[in-house]
Amino acid sequence: MILDYEQDDSTHEPDDWPTWRFRRYIDNKLSTSSSAQSYSHWESSLKESQGSLHNSHSSFGNENNSTKTMDFRSSEEASFPACEDQAFIDQESNEDPLTSDYTEESGSDDESFVTPEESEIDEPLDSNNPEDIMKYIVKKLLLKGHKGPKIVKILKEKHGISISYRTLARRRAEWGLQRVDLPLAHISTPLDPPIRASLLSSHRKGLNLDEIQARLVQETGVTVCIRTVKRYLQTLQLKLLENDVQTGKVSMDEVFEAINHARTSLLHTGIGYRRMRFLLMRQYNIRIPRQLVYDVLKHLDPAGMAARLRQGFKRRIYRTYGPNHIWACDGHDKLKPYGICVYGFVDAWLRKILGMFVHTTNNDPQHVGLYFLHLASKTGGLPLKVTSDYGTETVEMATYQMWLSYRFGGINGEEATKRMHFTKSNRNQKIESLWSQMMKQHNRPIIDSIVTEIENGYYNPDDEIEKLLFLFLWIPVFQSSVNIWVDLYNNSKRRRDYSITLPTACSPDYSYGTPEAFGTTDQLVNVPSQEIELLIAQDYPNCQEMFQHTPEWFRLIAERTMQQIGVNFSAITVGNVWIVFQQMLPSIRTELEDYTFDSSSSQSSQYSHQEPEGVGSIDEITGSSEVTCEYE
């Protein structure tokens, strides 16, 4: 309610009726008038007009308000006519007394005393409606950081507006001035670097408030409530459910382009809208709601979205004590016909992928043993138990598991033998389930791509040169693609499942890193990293040579060819690797032809010098003394 000023003494001049309005009005009249009035007439007019008040009536909500106006204009002297007074008020409607930024306390009458913060939120008011005026004032106060009770007090004391807190809350909802509708206020108090780093890391992983709180306690030792976590996120201007399209950070065209790139270049054609949302967040830094991703995928791949609606069966209950209780390991042979082999390790508690290793073989016990030691050094110890199917490739890994458990686990030799568990392949369900998901979400499009190239005649796996070039390009490119899929898998939340006792409705990475949030502890057997590195140095002195997937002489030729065409592995994906393959193949064939037929050249002698022991001539590699280029 707008209250006019009531004074007992009718000759008292209101304090909050600024005289600068009338002075500016008289100045304008003097400057535009053909016959300027004298200064004395201006002073007398000003003195007579200072008592005039603007009559206004307004009502807010269901309240009927009336205003009383005390007229201080002298009835004997009417040098400031009422008609001109009303015209002046209409002319100055954009500068109502309730919204004026001017004051009479200090400074010139024509000076503005607006602070820089206020000037940023000020906007012109083109209405003389009392309700619009009140909305404008309330918005300014909210943007300055005032809250409901303080706003009610300011409205009453400074602007003469009497309104209840409940009515103000209702009006804010009608005007769209609730807290969620306003921009975030900048909080200048900086957070401690550890707290800031933990919050940013948790936000990038897409964790919820409870998970962010648990990680904050574990990483920094700071115990705070959920409301404090919200305040921290507000300080960093972070939102849990961001919509970059709505905020204008990205456009819908960019969203379509990113999803299309993920499906074509990264060949993520088998993932659903939930996984695609995390892929956009992790790889493209695009945060949009799941519904928007669903709509885009439904437009791009309606058949795939319909096929993924079918639900699979649930396996039996699998009980573990916590992270690092059981490591399940196995090899993946679905791409072995093409020369690509995968060996993986999974923590059985929530199927977090600990490591995926791509090479030309996964049956070498030295390779598997080195994989195991690498993971043990990375995690800082051993699991209580390692489970694997029967096979000669696990011999060295089993030896390391039992020996290190006996030495650092505080157990005897008989108990140490039980730390390695061999089972049938169909009983090793954690890792087998992972291979099933990997085939649907990652490997199937890649296999289709390879088969298509073979059927179209662009790749001949029986040609040794093409086979070497295929392995040179595909092994590191496939490893990079697997790393992206592993990161996406570990940070994607699982759906809530009440039929199992293991953690659900969270990501494997979160549950693995914060077991305390689920009432359990880490089961890791700590082993000094120096001991593991010593074992690697003693048992695998040539570990770098072990993982070369092509001969040294061919690797040098291929690397030089890549430099000539200006390509590096960071720019190669599983979607464009065949383009690079066709660009490199003619040059490599040409160099190998020179090597075969021009043995006296310095270039060919360099290749002969770089061939490792045991590698024969080009005739032995290709099976023919004549090599022809099949690609233009």
Supply the CATH number for residue 415's domain. 3.30.420
| CA pair distance 284, 592, nearest whole angstrom | 41
Question: What confidence score (pLDDT) does residue 592 get?
Answer: 86
Whether 56 has a pLDDT exceeding 80, the answer reads no
Shared domain check, 511 and 475: yes
pLDDT tens digit sequence for 31-55? 544 444 444 454 454 445 444 433 3
Q: Let me know: does 420 contact 405? Beta carbons within 8 Å.
A: no
What is the average pLDDT score of the chain? Answer: 77
How far CA 326 is from CA of 352, 386, 423, 513, 526, in Å, comes to: 11, 6, 13, 15, 15
Answer yes or no: do 516 and 431 share one domain: yes
pLDDT of residue 27: 54
Residues 415 and 504 in one domain: yes
Which band of pLDDT confidence, cut at 50, 70 and 90, is reported for residue 18?
Answer: very low
Higher-pLDDT residue of 119, 166: 166
Same domain assignment for residues 78 and 225: no
Residues 6+ apart with CB under 8 A from 627: 465, 589, 592, 593, 596, 618
Tell me how far apart the alpha carbons of residues 265 and 284 are, in angstroms, rounded to a whole number.
13
Sequence letter at residue 400: Y
Considering the domain architecture, whether residues 466 and 538 belong to the same structural domain is answered as yes
Band of the pLDDT at 310, cuts 50, 70, 90?
A: low
DSSP code for 321? S
Strand 352-359, strand 381-382: pairing: unpaired
336 with 445, same domain? yes
- Residue that the structure tokens 């089972």 belong to: 423
**Structure-block tokens of residue 485:** 């899929």
User: Are both 293 and 424 inside the same structural domain?
Assistant: no
> Are 527 and 583 contained in the same domain?
no
443: DSSP letter: I
What whole-number distance in Å separates Cα of residue 204 and Cα of residue 359? 31
Q: Is 90 exceeded by the pLDDT of residue 498? A: no
Residue 321 domain-assigned? no
- pLDDT tens for 192-231 read 999 999 999 999 888 999 999 999 999 999 999 999 999 9
The confidence score (pLDDT) of residue 126 equals 64
Clarify whether residues 408 and 483 are in a common domain: yes
Q: Which residues pair with 328 in a beta bridge?
A: 346, 387
Kindly state whether residue 598 falls inside one of the protein's structural domains.
Answer: yes
Beta bridge partners of 420: 386
Which is more confident, 1 or 341? 341
Which is it for strands 352-359 and 525-526: parallel, antiparallel or unpaired?
unpaired
Cα–Cα distance measured from residue 625 to residue 619, given in angstroms and rounded to the nearest whole number: 5
Give the bridge partners for 385, in sequence order.
326
Measured in degrees and rounded to the nearest 5, phi and psi for residue 352 equal -75, 130
- Tokens coding 298: 């439904």
End-of-domain residue from the set 498, 516, 546: 546
pLDDT band at 178 (very low <50, low <70, confident <90, very high): confident
Domain count, the chain: 5
Confidence band of 75 (pLDDT split at 50, 70, 90):
very low
Task: Report the distance separating Cα 53 and Cα 573, nearest Å.
Answer: 75
Comparing C-alpha atoms, which of 19, 30, 73, 32 is closest to residue 51? Answer: 73
Whole-number Å distance between alpha carbons of 35 and 24: 18
Question: Token digits for 18?
Answer: 């600024």
Question: pLDDT tens digit string along 430-482?
Answer: 898 899 999 999 999 999 999 999 999 999 999 999 999 999 999 999 999 99
Token pair 């009559």: residue: 55
Looking at the structure, tell me whether residues 106 and 170 fall in a common domain.
Answer: yes
Structural domain includes residue 313: no
Residue 630 has pLDDT above 80, yes or no: no
Q: Are 465 and 561 in a shared domain?
A: no
**Exposed/middle/buried for residue 290 (C-beta within 10 Å: 0-12, 13-18, 19+):** middle
Q: Is 606 helix (H, G, I), strand (E, B) or coil?
A: helix
The answer to whether 245 touches 292, Cβ cutoff 8 Å, is yes
**pLDDT at 339 > cutoff 50:** yes
Determine contact, residues 344/329, Cβ cutoff 8 Å.
Answer: yes
Q: Choose one of 546, 575, 599: the last residue of a domain.
A: 546
Residue 179 forms part of a structural domain:
yes
319 belongs to a structural domain: no
Query: Which residues of 471-607 form beta strands (DSSP E)?
Result: 525-526
pLDDT for the residue numbered 595: 56
pLDDT in tens, 81-104: 444 444 444 444 444 433 334 333
Mean pLDDT check: name the lowest of 40-44, 389-393, 401-405.
40-44
**What are the pLDDT digits (tens) for 257-268?**
999 999 988 888
Same domain membership, residue 293 and residue 442: no
Q: Which of 351, 329, 333, 322 is nearest to 401 (CA)?
A: 329
Structure tokens at 39: 């200064």
The pLDDT score that the predictor gives to residue 585 is 95
Whether 66 is covered by a domain: the verdict is yes
The 10s digit of each residue's pLDDT in 355-388 is: 999 999 999 999 999 999 999 999 999 999 999 9
Residue 228's domain comprises 193-235
> Which residue, 546, 578, 608, sits at the end of a domain?
546
Any alpha helices (H) in 250-353, and if so which ranges? 252-264, 273-283, 290-300, 302-307
Length of the chain: 632
Does residue 359 contact residue 494 with C-beta atoms inside 8 Å?
no
Q: What is the pTM of this model?
A: 0.61
- Beta strands 385-389 and 420-423 are parallel
Kindly state whether residue 571 falls inside one of the protein's structural domains: yes
What is the CB-side half-sphere exposure of residue 279 using CA atoms within 13 A? 27
Task: Note the pLDDT tens digit of each residue in 520-579.
Answer: 999 999 999 999 999 999 999 888 888 899 999 999 999 999 999 999 999 999 999 999
| Residue whose entry in the numeric block shows the structure tokens 């007229």 | 71
d(CA 202, CA 257): 27
Is 57 a domain residue?
Answer: yes
CA–CA gap between residue 448 and residue 502 (Å, rounded): 35
Average pLDDT over residues 582-602: 70
Which DSSP string do the residues of 55-76 spell out, in sequence order?
------TT------------SS
- The candidate with the shortest Cα–Cα distance to 141, out of 126, 166, 127, 161, is 161
